[in-house]
Structure 1
Amino acid sequence: MKVLQTTIFWVLALLLAPVLSGCFAMNSAPTESGSRDFIAPSYPKGQDSFTTTETTTQSDTSQQEQPTSGQEPGRVDSAPNRDGLLEKQNTENNSPPSSNFYDTLEEADLYRVVGQTLYMLNTYKGFMVYDLSNPSALKKEATLPVFGVPVEMFIEGQHAFVLVRDALRLEKNNGTLSFQRKNVSQLVVLDLSHSHAPKVLQRIDIQGQLRAGVSRKSKTHLHIVAHITNSYQQAWPRQQGTAQERVTLYTFDIKTPTNPKQQQVLQLLEQARVDDADTGETPILEGVVLSTSQNHLLIGERWSLARKNNDATWSCQWRSKQQRTYVNVVSLGSDSALPSLQGRFRIEGDINDQFKQTLYKDGTNQLFYLGITQQKSWNVASCAFTSTQNNNFVSYSVSAQSASTLLKSQPFTTSGETIQASLFDKDAKRAFISTTNTTSGSLYVIDWSDPAAPSTEAVEEAFPLSAKVINKVSENRLLLVGESYSELCNKSSSSHVSGTAAGLILLDLSKDNFLQSLSERCATAAGSLDASRNVSLSKVDLDQAHKSISIHQDGAAHYITLPIEYQQAQDNYTEYRTAVSLFRWKETQAGGSAPSPLQQVSVLEHPRGTVKRTALFYLPTDEAQGAKRRHILTISDTHLSLFDVQDDTAPTRRSSIEIAPFIGALYRFGGYLVEQAHLGEGYEKFNEFRVRKVSSGDIADNEVLASFRVGALEQVLRFQNKLVLFHKLADDASRHEVQVYDLSNPQKPQKQTSLELTYNFSATYRFYCGSFEQSYLIDQEGAQIGRQWVPTKEGLVALIKDTDARFRLLFLDLRNDTPSIRTRGLKEDEEYLYLIRTTEGRFFLVSRVKLSTKTREKEVTTTYKYYAQLWVFQESKWDNGTKVNLPGRLIQAHIIGQEYRLLTYDHFAYSDNVRDVLRMHLLSWKQQEEKAAIVATTSFGGYGLQDILLQGQRLYINAHQRENNTSTNHLMIVDLVDDRFARRYEGDMGTENTRIVGVYQSKLFFDVAQEGILVVDVQTPNIPKGLHFQRTPGWTKHISFYGKYAFLSAGHFGIYTLDLETSTF
């Protein structure tokens, strides 16, 4: 005989609460897969006594997989190339010049100054236009989102060509509530004829991934290299087939900028990854590098080769790993000719940036390839890890008629040195190569006057700099910029030289011993934490360092701008600061005297964020009666800052603009939105609350009507017309404080009180959707508190467990202008789990009592009785009422007339423990009665439930099918009518990692993990329809509503406004 038993699995987590206004969700997450296709037995109608049996498996917790934190949106490093030479910005036309050495191909960038207009591509905001005509008040003319991660752009006349990666969108399947994930890169063409209103002309999909530096433009064509690695996710796993690694060169004809035409798609690599059964070798495509030279594109495929251990007796899976590059030499020919592959050859080692390779054509018209390779190898023997690193200068003869031939592979370093910046000097036929180890740098000079026999001409093994950029600033001057190892730049009380200070070295190449003819300088910043210690160079990518560390030529003067970082001491903390160190060097002085020394002339302090670009140009000013004065603009992802540097030793900040503050939360009070902006490097540093009027446009453009600042915050909750702020005290992190602000008049926020919490307790919630009531979490093990506050009509209440392991209720009374805190101890004969809010503003305390425990092998079976106790506020205090026994855990409670309807869940399984099935029960209960009675039961055989949301009498359930072990989301809509469960809709959505977060005006909101917010219209429950998908790269955790609009906070991406009456699908 088979015995039925009810089972609740610990991995289930529910987020729950009723709906008054806004969004209210409850969440569960069973992880079991597969089930029998049968209906679970029901409790008899009217049953009023229940026990619940729960089964767990004993295991080694050290083997449990740990959760992975979400990734921040990737940073974008972007945009001009010079075949190994650094950008020299032309200050006459106020914009970066063509950056190719032969003046035929241009590399993209993040900005362009044209006249008195700044065009800028921002990581968070997209394409932006600023009016620079009034240096004292820069004006934003336009913002145009590009719906993806901006990479880089070209400006050509009145048009912009913008490259975007991860331009994610969802597409409906045949008009149903089922979606496909389309993740592509794009070429976006913009019309700039009206700078105040740029508009999108075209969006052209590009298959694969883009990064900064993989595009070039001539006057008539645009060349873009995209690649697909084995890990690239274009669709959800269930929707995509076997990934093929691919490298593709796209060529667009842009003679007609308004209508670029895809002229050619050249597949350089198109294959599925294949393991070599004989060697156990697995090739993995890591990325691509693009260089230009001699009217050719040099496209390097960067591979790693992992060799598996085929000896089954070994316990280590991987035996070794090394690097390899396949170089594609693509001839561009004339403007009318299509690019063609002239040669493809293999190099042992890695070409890791565009300055590590070039082409050279000798007097006989023979084409040579020159490359600087770095070979890192990892080996495992007896599970012991070892690594080696070798660097070589290689030369190949390249021919379209025959295979390319290796001429020489010349080692030039000792093992263990990492290659940094490099430069091919084609006039002197030399290559300058900077390397570093953990304690010092080296500089190598390779003579390649005979490309077939390159040799090491000179080496300085104790070179005091690890260069990030090398540039020949004049015929006989070589400038190196990077991280210094010298004691000159690393002054501290310690004798250890860190190699992180920012430094510059100028070499005189006219001298025989030019490696020793250095003129060394260090970047400094007034107010740094240690005045005797210099500052650090901001982190730069070697492939794009020439755009971050810029050289601007202004007449005889060269200005070098270094992005720097340092720590500055404040009252009781240190603050991270960023700036630009401005250096000047002149080739000749007035009257033809000797060159002036290289010197730091000033420091331009940037408001916040790492400076990614600096622009030097001239602007007319009213102060100078219209005469043009030299200005420098510093650009980070979050701020712009403009300086007058006509007197470069005494710069004047003319203006500063906040582009992308971090908006962590939104709270609506009447017709006003209160945004919580995080101003520090982390969430806990600085917080500013800003009040703006609600509108349908860009909220960020609305005037800030009021604001207030606070320090470190742990959480913020809204209660009626108040904001309740929780934070740790600055002088004692073990103590917590509650601050209450009254926003009944949002234009005049008033601080009501500060209260110290005697218990170490702060609020948490998963998502704010018009309200936070739904967003609390039942702990996986059930024994620890979920750390949630539950709102009642009188204030907030929380269940806590204090240091002596006693359960208490913590009440925060917010009824009047003098909030107060009270506590209430609970009996010790029960295990208290969580609180459930009722629709009329009371709450139930959920607990359980253990009846018995049995262990068989590794399976532990425990029998409990679950209870819910109603608490009522009367006579100015909270009193507990009758405790009622329930079948499983309480999900929701709402009142109909004089009766409560209680919704619970449990699991049951056959004694042979094949599968468990989740059941839901609806019970009726009258206050003061000792028992609740079952009125309806339903089961969900074959499904694992993830989220459950109850609005009034309607349940929204997010599940996945366990029978087919699929991970896609399955939506069910169930009405609780006439004391029964009536299913209105059921269907697979095709999405993955998607959670219900709330409902508003019959619009159901889903959080698509790491991607964005999906809105579904459920006005007609049996025919739900997709309404919106808003890309937010996973940053949205707060949604507020006003009328037909939804406002989404998205970190640095700002505030998105959705019109809920208009579909964008």
Structure 2
Amino acid sequence: MTCWLGVALLAVGPGCTAGADREGQGALAEETAEFADPLGRTTSFVSADDLPTVFYGEEEEEEEEEEEEEEEEEEEERELEEGDIYRVLGDGHLLNLNAYRGLQVIDIHDPESPAMIGQMPVSGTPVEMYVDGDRAIVLLNDWVGFRATPGSLTMERRAGGAVLLIDIGNRNAPVLLSQLDVPGYIQTSRYANGATRDALYVASTSWGWVDLGNGDYEYHNEAVVKSFDVTQGALVERSQLDLGGYVTGIHGEGDVLLVARGPEGWDNENSQVSIVDVSSIDGFMTLRDTVTVDGYVRSQFHMDFRDETLRVFSGPQWGGGVSHLQTWDASDPDDLTPIDEEDFGDGQSLYGAVFLDDRAFAVTYRRTDPFHAFSIDPDGNVEEKSEFIVSGWNDFLRPVLGATRLIGIGVNDEGGGRRLAASLYDITDLTNPSPMIARAEVAGSEGGWNWSEASWDHRAFTVLDGAVNVAAPTGEAETGLVLLPFSGYSVTGDRWTYESAVQIFTFSGTTLTRRGVMKHGSPVRRSFRAGPDTAANVSETQLSLYDQRDLDHPEKLGELDLAPRYSTILGYGEYRVRIRNPEQESWEREEGQMAVAEVVAAADVAAVATPLASFPVTPDASYYKVGDDLLAVVTSRFVSWPSHETTIGVFDLSDPLRPRAAGQLVTTDLPPTYDDYYDYYYYAPTRFHVTNRSLTFASKTDSWTVVGWVEQCESYVTYSRGDDSCWGLDGCTYTTGQRSCQSLDGGPEYCSGGFAECTTRLGSEDACAPVVDEAALDGLLESYCFEGEASRQHRQMTVHVVDLSDPDHPALAPPLALPAEEDAVSTLAHEGDLYVSVKLPATVPDDPRPHARYFLRRVDLSRPGAPALGPAINVPGEALAIRGAKVFTRDRVWGSYFIEPAIARSTLHGGLAHLNNYQVLAGKAIDDTLVIDQHQRALMTYGERSWPTYWRWSYGYKSGSLAILRPGDTISTTGFDVVSEAPIDRWMSLVPFAAERRAFFNVYSGTLMVDYEDPRQPVAQAFFTGAWRPEILVDRARDEVLVAAERVGIHQLDLDVSNLLP
């Protein structure tokens, strides 16, 4: 039975089912481009139009334990290891955990030509990883994944901390073996690498509001330590300790984990330190005793456990106050007993700290940097032996040269600057009043400022004993090496420039020397030795490798971009062109720095394929494929109001392996190109289209036309009788709504809006019905009235065509202005021509409400140098798409209270539009984007319109759906049938593009692809991370979809494959 839906879209009668499709129960037959429709009798159309705008009065516009894991007892069967974002593998490969691309395998056999040989994309912020044989254990925060909901397009979004077990046995193709969630935000971890069993311990913190069960909520920090048994092929959860507070550090020593956590409230600075027994080889944990210390524990290096003694540095969390060194007898780990305490650094903040067997050192700071030395006897008694004052501070202290010296990594703030620095201390005599032997700052301008991840993460820098052999300026042999990353501004010529680099220092027992600098393209996260004479520097975007045989003048051997910025991917037959923007942001680039267009084989993986040809193009431009063989690069820059300079570069790709720069057009006669974010009346937006061997710019010029003197009244429900009066109550009745009424030049009054009586239904949408009897509103409404001159906005369109018929000589055709009286609405391109929707004011007998007639004009571009404007054809609304002789339009009609949306399909014949199908979508609020696919189905997102309220902001509609409609294809069916309605999340917005029965949505942090091969049951298919408002390439010949996502790369997926969570 044919299902015809009248004015009410979902008013389904007996024997008529929403979702019906007339191809029967089997696979749907392919629709042809044209239906065998008789020409409709209706050829004249009038649509609803907005109320005019009234202006009145003022216009209203709207170490350290570095010893920590270094001093494990040799007889221990398990080593507690700390993770990092990189691992140098023993077979000439580097494993890197990248924020944009996930896990990367890099071949560094030849430092002059490092190569990416494998990767496994994962979405999240890297925390750290471990490598055990051919397994990588990866920890991420901000991990995001989506799981499809059966029967719906609403997505189950999973996010938070995650642990992944990955097989890296095949370096070219890492494989995910297992993945488990971790509650909250992962802060650190430890890995117990045993002879037969391995375990992972993860510390995380959850922040958020907790329901107390009585209607009240309380903000809580919840520290969690979770353990996993790491088998050869899976992660197995073992135990979880819920500790409260928030984790500030964990320290591993033998079979003991020390877990420090900050307090619950902001008014409490006292941390707690817990002893966790991790001796069980299967990962099971046992919580022992917990102590509350006298201050705030900043990191793992402020705790120590040895010789059955717990030793802790703590200090003020927010500055001021006193710092403390405390010790406890831990011979019974279930009953810790205080031994001694020493207070120091009054009025100062606590920074770096380190524990040795019988000594401890700490740095406090307030304008100066006291270096404190303590003795600790075998019984745990402590005594401060000396305090040395120097400028700046040290964030980390690392014992070197047999624990006779300390290297400090910190900041010198003398002279008002802030310079990263390394310091050398003699710690053989704790009473030495001047233990600092030397200090050296990183390179840069005097008084300059720089910073580094090394200020808060000890893994960012490297300190090595016995790594080099070089003479100090005074002749001593220096064997120690420090690699310290830094970023900052320095003076180059007469201007400040931003640079990132790694400073090399060398040291001996009596000297510290600043050596050369290894420059890097972006802030370095890690600097380390990748070989005996090779240093590796890793940022989120680049790997650089340096020869360190000459430490004063290190030579760059090679570099590799880790996350190239691919903004566009275009198809040219057997080849594809990817646009790669410069690594630097626009404000960091050298003048004239270019992007690169890279030609790759379509059969290769687009993100990593070796370019077969390349050529420079303007960066941050708009890139368009014109015809089968041209690439147009368009940029627009402001010159002076109102002029913009537009540059169009043309490249000939008739032979993609030999691309050729053709002509260029530079002109101020084209309108500036804005995107649709600027589509409001302060700007005249420009719409851009690729047309027949040409580029077309359609611009609008705004003006306001006075329509008369208007009296306007606004009515709304009083606050006490509105929806707030029923807040939290079930079955409560309230009144809601708003109404605007106008009278033009003393004529009849007309209104938009209305009122409804609603009943609350907790847990679902309220039930509302319009108030028909106005008398029922007595005493419920408030109103105010005003009068003024009413105006209507008018936009005149001008069409500008850039003729590319001769690519070597692009030319601007004379501008084509549409008639001044026509109000421009929108444009679309079809088969090389441009189609323009315009409207004119109209009147309807006995109806004073505003109306308009819509018209469609064709701009013939068969000769791009001489565009020709065709006649205006009256159509029912704004043109959406043209399919053969059919035109689909979006209309607006007056309903009882509001302007209702409608959709129509007409046949263009004999200079008229003959109506075939028309459907009013009463009660619906339709989003801006409406797509007509190649099979004449209409895809749109809509929700039930909600009644407006004066007192509360509203989306204007209830939760929505993706609706797929198709025109009725029999004589008796004159409307559109609903093939399906699939619920969507409110934050999903439809992309104005569909191909191969795939629709696309902008969603949180990326793009979602929806498969509607069976339009009766669309399903979520794939999620492309980082692709926000992307250009999408659907390759029909290869059944692939490609999405460029800047630094995340180029997503490439078979059209029949899903990448969603199972």
**Structure 2 partner of 1:750:** 660
**Structure 1 partner of 2:555:** 652
Q: Secondary structure at the match of 1:748?
A: coil
Greater Cα offset, 815-824 or 137-146: 137-146
Q: Does 1:630 align with 2:533?
A: yes
Shift of 1:634: 2.0
Q: Distance in 1 between matches of 2:240 and 2:357?
A: 35
Q: Distance in 2 between matches of 1:827 and 1:197?
A: 58
**Structure 2 partner of 1:812:** 802
Q: Secondary structure at the match of 1:554?
A: coil
**Structure 2 partner of 1:892:** 880
TM-score (norm 1): 0.72
2:966–2:978 contact (8 Å) kept in structure 1: yes
Which of 295, 298, 303 is residue 358 of structure 1 equivalent to?
303
1:595-626: CA deviation from partner (whole Å, max 9, x where unpaired): 4x2112222233x22222222254xxxxxxxx
1:994–1:1006 contact (8 Å) kept in structure 2: yes
Q: Secondary structure at the match of 1:699?
A: coil
Q: Does 1:142 align with 2:118?
A: yes
Q: Distance in 2 between matches of 1:458 and 1:504?
A: 21
1:614-672: CA deviation from partner (whole Å, max 9, x where unpaired): 22254xxxxxxxxxx52222222222222222343343333322332111111111111
Q: Secondary structure at the match of 2:459?
A: helix
Q: Secondary structure at the match of 2:65?
A: coil
**Structure 2 partner of 1:612:** 525
Q: Does 1:795 align with 2:770?
A: no
Count of residue pairs the alignment pairs up: 881
**Structure 2 partner of 1:128:** 104
Q: Distance in 2 between matches of 1:667 and 1:391?
A: 63
Shift of 1:88: 8.3
Instruction: Give 1:114-513 correspondences, 5 Å limit.
Output: 114-123=89-98, 124-146=100-122, 148-174=124-150, 179-183=155-159, 185-200=161-176, 202-211=177-186, 213-219=188-194, 220-227=197-204, 229-230=206-207, 246-254=222-230, 256-269=231-244, 288-293=248-253, 295-302=255-262, 305=265, 325-333=271-279, 335=281, 338-345=284-291, 350-355=296-301, 357-360=302-305, 365=308, 367-376=309-318, 390=321, 392-393=323-324, 395=326, 397=328, 400-401=333-334, 410=343, 412-414=345-347, 419=350, 421-435=351-365, 440-445=367-372, 447=374, 449=376, 458-459=386-387, 463-474=390-401, 475-487=403-415, 497-499=416-418, 501-510=419-428, 512-513=431-432
**Structure 1 partner of 2:1022:** 1028
Which of 494, 503, 512 is residue 598 of structure 1 equivalent to?
512
> Partner amino acid for 1:903?
T
Closer/same/farther in 2, CA of residues 243 and 714 from structure 1, 3 Å limit: farther
> Partner amino acid for 1:443?
P
**Structure 1 partner of 2:632:** 724
- What do you get for the CA RMSD once the two structures are aligned? 4.6
1:968–1:992 contact (8 Å) kept in structure 2: no
Q: Distance in 1 between matches of 2:660 and 2:74?
A: 56
Q: Distance in 1 between matches of 2:823 and 2:115?
A: 57
Shift of 1:343: 2.9
Closer/same/farther in 2, CA of residues 476 and 403 from structure 1, 3 Å limit: closer
Q: Distance in 2 between matches of 1:298 and 1:717?
A: 58
> Partner amino acid for 1:227?
S
1:368-396: CA deviation from partner (whole Å, max 9, x where unpaired): 452323333xxxxxxxxxxx754633637
Q: Distance in 1 between matches of 2:894 and 2:945?
A: 16
1:435–1:443 contact (8 Å) kept in structure 2: yes
Q: Secondary structure at the match of 1:546?
A: helix
**Structure 1 partner of 2:85:** 110
2:800–2:815 contact (8 Å) kept in structure 1: yes
**Structure 1 partner of 2:1039:** 1044
Identical columns (%): 16
Instruction: Give 1:694-773 correspondences, 5 Å limit.
Output: 694-720=601-627, 721-727=629-635, 735-758=645-668, 761-764=671-674
Shift of 1:793: 1.8
Instruction: Give 1:524-923 correspondences, 5 Å limit.
Output: 524=443, 533=446, 537-540=450-453, 542-551=455-464, 553-554=466-467, 557-565=479-487, 576-587=498-509, 595=510, 597-606=511-520, 608-618=521-531, 630-682=533-585, 685=589, 686-720=593-627, 721-727=629-635, 735-758=645-668, 761-764=671-674, 777=676, 779=678, 781-782=680-681, 784-800=683-699, 808-817=798-807, 818-822=809-813, 824=815, 826=817, 830=821, 832-848=823-839, 867-873=855-861, 876-883=865-872, 890-894=878-882, 896-897=884-885, 901-906=887-892, 908=894, 910-911=896-897, 917-923=900-906
Q: Secondary structure at the match of 2:460?
A: helix
2:220–2:264 contact (8 Å) kept in structure 1: no
TM-score (norm 2): 0.73
Shift of 1:761: 4.3
1:444–1:456 contact (8 Å) kept in structure 2: no
Q: Distance in 1 between matches of 2:370 and 2:355?
A: 15
Shift of 1:1055: 1.9
2:161–2:186 contact (8 Å) kept in structure 1: no
Q: Does 1:1008 align with 2:996?
A: no
> Partner amino acid for 1:224?
Y
> Partner amino acid for 1:724?
A
2:833–2:862 contact (8 Å) kept in structure 1: no
Closer/same/farther in 2, CA of residues 429 and 959 from structure 1, 3 Å limit: farther
Closer/same/farther in 2, CA of residues 146 and 955 from structure 1, 3 Å limit: same
Which of 909, 914, 920 is residue 938 of structure 1 equivalent to?
920
Q: Distance in 1 between matches of 2:65 and 2:479?
A: 23
Closer/same/farther in 2, CA of residues 867 and 806 from structure 1, 3 Å limit: closer
Shift of 1:206: 2.2
> Partner amino acid for 1:839?
H
Q: Distance in 1 between matches of 2:906 and 2:515?
A: 78
Q: Distance in 2 between matches of 1:945 and 1:557?
A: 68
Which of 916, 927, 937 is residue 954 of structure 1 equivalent to?
937
Q: Distance in 2 between matches of 1:100 and 1:991?
A: 59
1:120–1:129 contact (8 Å) kept in structure 2: yes
Q: Secondary structure at the match of 2:1047?
A: coil
Q: Distance in 2 between matches of 1:100 and 1:787?
A: 74
Shift of 1:868: 4.4
> Partner amino acid for 2:1041?
A
1:565-595: CA deviation from partner (whole Å, max 9, x where unpaired): 35689999976443221111123xxxxxxx4
Shift of 1:225: 2.4
Q: Distance in 2 between matches of 1:1039 and 1:833?
A: 30
Greater Cα offset, 464-473 or 55-64: 55-64
**Structure 2 partner of 1:1018:** 1012
1:794–1:813 contact (8 Å) kept in structure 2: yes
